[in-house]
Amino acid sequence: MKFVKNLLLMAGTALTLSAAPLSPVEQRIAATVDANLAASNALVEKLVNINSGTLNLEGVRRIADEIRPRFEALGFNVRWIPMDATHRAGHLVAERKGTHGKRVLLIGHLDTVFDPSSPFQKFEAHGASAVGPGAADMKGGLAIILYSLQALQTAGALDGASITVFLTGDEEKPGAPLSVARGDLIEAARHNDVALEFEPGVVADGRDYASIARRSSSSWQLTATGKSGHSAGIFEPASGDGAIYELARILNAFHDQLREPGLTYNVGLALGGTTVAYNAREHTGTASGKANIIPGQATASGDIRTLTDEQLQRTRERMRRIVAAHLPGTGAEIQFNEGYPAMPATPGNQRLLDLLNGVNRDLGFATFETLPPGRRGAGDLSFAAPYLDALCALGAVGSGTHAPGETLDLSRQPVQMKRTALLLYRLTR
């Protein structure tokens, strides 16, 4: 559902007018963010020190148990959706139903990429920054969500608002099938008007960026076969060219023939030899062979990222045609796996960004520029985007995510909270 005319006028006005004074309610909201900053940072520290690697199911549930009563204290009805069917912990959903304004969906996640065996486990504060596993991605974002809502409640601005918070437990390593793992998120999107995702914020060269489009992300696996035998017979009609040459032919054709704007396709793993063992679930494998034996097996896997789902389907068909043109004495098949859909830019997404930039101007903050979709990975927002206006801009700001030494910029936390709280206030009026 898209913005109604009065909201369009608000967004358009924000583009042409200079900063307007904050209303008394908005001033109270901003002041409450500052007053709660120490408590917010303490929450980040507490959450970071709970390991919630995606496959640490108990750890993910502990994060949910820690923040659940905080949502309940804000008047949200909270429920846990177990994901036993996908071998993941589950999702936390908090809802407040209101009577006016836009229905807003806030999207985030409980898990991190750091499992319990990682040596990187503890929160450490260093002045205006902090280091810890998942500090920016996205435990700092969880604090932004909670304390933005807290600021609204303190100012009496949550009354009558319709807000749903959907926190997945497997964003970093989604369970399968995705139709089950993301089915409840899609259903939540169908019943809301606007979605805001709290993946880490992007700052480059001193400028803030927002995503109104994201590329798809899906994977593929290629299997090639040949006639194994003594290498003296390679290329002869009775022996053929072998599985590795067939695999190399296909990958080289992918490299040369598929290119177009917005599309990338990577080969992440390749194996070939007399025997090949590939674990598709973990994307690992082994191969063995000899220099004087024609290889009978070869496999490769990789990903595809596209601007639109139509581009994805077109690319897959071109890949199938390349695979089908076999070298002598060989065969090959390609399998495509489900993944994250594309989130194309839409006028509604742009209007949402315009409205946020109106908030930025009134707060005296820098405005957001639009981030090219190729500079951000896939995310849960893409599952919701077909059903509402969508934006990713308001998460925690940091660096080095997904690696030891991940850093959170604590000085940017109140900035992101004020942006979030005032945008929510204006949307839900």
Contact in structure between 117 and 404 (CB atoms under 8 Å): no
pLDDT digits (tens, 9 = 90+) for 90-105: 999 999 999 999 999 9
Of residues 279 and 389, which shows the higher confidence score? Answer: 389
In one letter, which amino acid is 161?
A
Of residues 282 and 137, which shows the higher confidence score? Answer: 137
d(CA 14, CA 362): 9
The pLDDT of residue 283 is 78
Q: How many CB atoms lie under 10 A from the CB of residue 346?
A: 17
pLDDT digits (tens, 9 = 90+) for 178-227: 999 999 999 999 999 999 999 999 999 899 999 999 999 999 999 999 99
User: Which residue ranges make up each domain of the chain?
Assistant: 5-214+343-427, 217-340
The pLDDT of residue 4 is 38
| Cis omega (within 30 of 0) for bond into 386 | no
Architecture of domain 5-214+343-427: 3-Layer(aba) Sandwich (3.40)
Confidence of residue 3 (pLDDT cuts 50, 70, 90): very low
d(CA 81, CA 371): 33
217-340 belongs to CATH 3.30.70.360: yes
Say yes or no to pLDDT of 17 above 90: no
Task: Choose among 207, 252, 217, 185: nearest CA to 341.
Answer: 217
Q: How many CB atoms lie under 10 A from the CB of residue 343?
A: 29
pLDDT digits (tens, 9 = 90+) for 205-218: 899 999 999 999 99
Residues 6+ away with beta carbon under 8 Å from 52 = 59, 60, 62, 63, 110, 111, 112, 134
For the chain, give the secondary structure using H, E and C: CCCCHHHHHHHHHHHHCCCCCCCHHHHHHHHHHHHCHHHHHHHHHHHHCCCCECCCHHHHHHHHHHHHHHHHHCCCEEEEEEEHHHCEEEEEEEEECCCCCCEEEEEEECCECCCCCCCCCCCEEECCEEECCCHHHHHHHHHHHHHHHHHHHHCCCCCCCEEEEEEECCCCCCCCCHHHHCHHHHHHHHCCCEEEECCCEEEECCEEEEECCECCEEEEEEEEECCCEEHHHCCCCCCCCCHHHHHHHHHHHHHHHCCCCCCEEEEEEEEEECEEEEECCCCEEEEECCCCEECCEEEEEEEEECCCHHHHHHHHHHHHHHHHCCCCCCEEEEEEEEEECCECCCHHHHHHHHHHHHHHHHHCCCCEEECCHHHCCCCCHHHHHHHCEEEECCCCEEECCCCCCCEEEHHHHHHHHHHHHHHHHHHCC
Question: What are phi and psi for residue 313, nearest 5 degrees?
Answer: -65, -40
Task: Provide the whole-model pTM.
Answer: 0.88
Whole-number percent of the chain with pLDDT over 90: 92
The pLDDT of residue 358 is 97
Say yes or no to pLDDT of 16 above 50: no
Contact in structure between 400 and 204 (CB atoms under 8 Å): no
Confidence of residue 12 (pLDDT cuts 50, 70, 90): very low
Residues 6+ away with beta carbon under 8 Å from 365 = 415, 418, 419
The pLDDT of residue 58 is 98
pLDDT digits (tens, 9 = 90+) for 356-368: 999 999 999 999 9
Confidence of residue 13 (pLDDT cuts 50, 70, 90): very low
Q: In this structure, is the dihedral angle defined by the CA atoms of residues 315, 320, 321 and 325, taken in order, positive or negative? A: positive
Question: What are phi and psi for residue 173, nearest 5 degrees?
Answer: -150, 80
Say yes or no to pLDDT of 8 above 50: no
Rg, C-alpha atoms of the chain: 25
Same fold across 5-214+343-427 and 217-340: no
Q: pLDDT averaged over the chain?
A: 94
The pLDDT of residue 51 is 98
